[in-house]
Structure 1
Amino acid sequence: MPDMADNQTAVSRRTLLFAGGAVTAGLTAGGLAWARDARRPAEPTEPEATPPLVGAFDLRSGAELLEPTGLFNTTGPQSFAFDDTNALIYTLQTLQSGIRLSDEDEPVSAGDRKSAGDMCLTRLTAAGKVTGHMYLRGFGHGISFGVEPVGKRTFLWVEGKADPKNGYGRSVARTPFKDGAILDSTDPAVAHFDPLPGASDLAPSLDLAGGRVLVSHEKGREHRFAVYPMTDFLAGRRDSPQVVNAGEQVKEEEWFQGCALHGDFVYVLTGNPYTDKKGKNPRKSGGNTYISAIDVRTGKPQGRRRVTVAPDLPYREPEGMAVSMAGGRPALCIGFSVKTEDRRELTLYRFTG
């Protein structure tokens, strides 16, 4: 998925969309809670024969979960993850151009940051207030990640050991969150896992409700998803995951923008930002953001539908996907990158069953 900082045009591999809404976000004893009803349901653009459910979620209408919100850096968001226990949202983005961190001799360009796999992580409240950040150097691009609350600590599951050829992760990394820290992928505090030798573009996410780890990866010319019980993954039993191929759910011309695991399904997000009128994805097209589902038991597709919410968002690139269990009811949530005059912002929309 593209990144943009300091008026640079980003080059991306992900995207998504939904209708605007009034927002009421709050905290409950159970974690993150919200109530944002879409003011204007999206007009269906798919044939009526298109099944309303993709996996277990109805994508015909949705609600705004987070209004366009600036992150710690000005670059575009890449992905997000929920800590429902503590009513928090975490996001990843590549570093903006010209930043010199405290232990660096000079500022670094956005291009060099991206190639190196340097990322900025932002912690937000449910209402979008920034409450913390970290800099992660040499980790990856931030396609997807997970957040694991353990007592008073929070562990991040992210890409690790960025490939210097493209900046994407070659391992699954697990490390504690520490507000304000600058952390290198080579730091001893980072635990690295190599569950899929020979695979590239590794990107984890978590299904905390089901106690599972999802690892998106590429093997040869195939895009795949591997599913592990979390206890087995951490104990070193990673030899026999459930593996499904993305197949036609990620078409060659589409940008892969994120994934999530819930119940029996892997959910896949693809799409591009709006182009000008002469481009392949002009605003009048309604966008080309799609959510697909794959059954992890059989590997078979279980629906694919275009997301038509929030058609008036500026830029509107889908960026990231995660499932929230706030209030005990699962919601499939997607992010959009929104372009403003001097930065990119993140907005989130949710879908329920």
Structure 2
Amino acid sequence: MSPGRTARTMATPGPGISRRSVLVAGAASLALGGLAGVTLWADEETEESKEGDEAPAAPAIAGAFDIARPTRLWRPTALNDTTGPQSLAFDDTRGDVYVVQLAQGGLTLRGEKGPVDAEDRKRAGDLCVTRFSSAGERLGRMYLRGFGHGVSMGVEPEGDTVWLWMESQAHPRTGYGRAVARVRFRDGAVLDSDDRGVRHHRLAPKGSSRVHPAVDMTTGRLLISYRQGEEHGYSVHRLQDVLAGKEAPLHSIGRAAFLKGETFQGCALHGDYIYQLTGNPYSKSDGRNPRDSGGNTYISAVHARTGEPAGRRHVSVDPSLRYREPEGIAVRVSPEPLLCMGFSVKTSGRRNIALYGFEQRR
């Protein structure tokens, strides 16, 4: 966190949380500051339960993290635009969080003659990136036109500069990226994908679509997610190799696990594992994902070298959220590793992001 910035939490107790667990978690939140929050045990007893009977949930491991131990980091929080979140990433040197969303319709950006509607912006791949403090305070925003859908992203801090790794060169029909680009975050700026200063990296196999990046700064690696036909794959690269023009990956996974028939909502790379987020918003009671089903959000892990499964867990946190679409997954490294994911939540006139974290396994 930058000097002089005051940390404050945005945690509030949710349904099914006992008074005792809220008090304990709240004290921990004040002690840690920044991205701390209320601990939400998956099998938490109600307030009427006897305190002596309470017990944390059994571990539910995906990769290096326990998905049965969720912590609410932000209650539903507004982004810069009214559309829902797509992905997020952390600047662990400053304690900031970057969240990507599709740019809203009705805006007139620099270089445009008039407002563009929401569907045209979606097809064009126009994005808005909001910079937040760790406590959820909006600190700035930037627009990226023609870049993609924003399914995943990476942040690479370098001295006083923050570089964003984004999908780029949006397909003119689908709006999803076909390459990745490294762009400097500049508050208030509007940048076009075809700007001559934007360098596009075609790192996915030829003919791939829906190309998305993520970054692991602890190891200096770049993850590329892509689709080839009906198959979903990954490649892992050294950041410095890519910047030097070397496209050969360290590892390639041609067929990732757990995605058949599921909706891909983002990926992250940390240490030995790739983390995948899948799921849909709640549907009507007779639809594919009604609220009373517990939702179909899953976090899955695969080994970054081999693609072998390393755990798949259902995410049952905060089932009462309205809409509750999983959107974005990333690892916050400092002060300790925390696997984080977002939900898009409907409110009057806009969608917000609710943010949750999962601790390392013990």
The amino acid of 1:174's aligned partner reads: R
In the alignment, what sits opposite 2:68?
A: 60
Does the 8 Å CA contact 2:236/2:249 hold for their aligned counterparts? no
Structure 1 residues 67-76 or 182-191, which shifts more?
A: 182-191
Does the 8 Å CA contact 2:235/2:249 hold for their aligned counterparts? no
Provide the rounded CA distance (Å) in 2 between the counterparts of 1:341 and 1:244: 42
Q: Which runs of 4+ in 1 moved over 4 A?
A: 18-28
Provide the rounded CA distance (Å) in 2 between the counterparts of 1:60 and 1:213: 28
Provide the rounded CA distance (Å) in 2 between the counterparts of 1:210 and 1:26: 30
Does the 8 Å CA contact 1:19/1:310 hold for their aligned counterparts? no
The amino acid of 1:204's aligned partner reads: P
TM-score (structure 1 length as normaliser) = 0.87
Which ranges of structure 1 fall in alignment gaps of 5 or more residues? 1-17, 45-49
| Residue 69 of structure 1 pairs with residue 67 of structure 2 | no
In the alignment, what sits opposite 2:350?
A: 343
From 212, 221, 238, the counterpart of 1:212: 221
Does the 8 Å CA contact 1:78/1:320 hold for their aligned counterparts? yes
User: Matches of residues 163-202 of structure 1 in structure 2 within 5 Å?
Assistant: 163-196=171-204, 197-202=206-211
Tell me the CA shift for residue 112 of structure 1.
0.4
In the alignment, what sits opposite 2:230?
A: 221
* SS in structure 2 at match of 1:61: strand
In the alignment, what sits opposite 1:90?
A: 98
Does the 8 Å CA contact 1:19/1:309 hold for their aligned counterparts? no
Identical residues among aligned pairs (%): 50
The amino acid of 1:36's aligned partner reads: G
Provide the rounded CA distance (Å) in 2 between the counterparts of 1:211 and 1:26: 32
| Residue 36 of structure 1 pairs with residue 44 of structure 2 | no
| Residue 260 of structure 1 pairs with residue 261 of structure 2 | no
Provide the rounded CA distance (Å) in 2 between the counterparts of 1:219 and 1:278: 32
User: Matches of residues 274-313 of structure 1 in structure 2 within 5 Å?
Assistant: 274-313=282-321
* SS in structure 1 at match of 2:93: helix
- Equivalenced residue count is 325
Identify which of structures 1 and 2 has the higher relative contact order when contacts are C-alpha pairs closer than 8 Å and 6+ apart: 1
User: Matches of residues 100-119 of structure 1 in structure 2 within 5 Å?
Assistant: 100-119=108-127
Which ranges of structure 2 fall in alignment gaps of 5 or more residues? 1-14, 45-57
Provide the rounded CA distance (Å) in 1 between the counterparts of 2:141 and 2:59: 41
* SS in structure 2 at match of 1:170: strand
TM-score (structure 2 length as normaliser) = 0.85
* SS in structure 2 at match of 1:268: strand
Provide the rounded CA distance (Å) in 2 between the counterparts of 1:19 and 1:218: 39
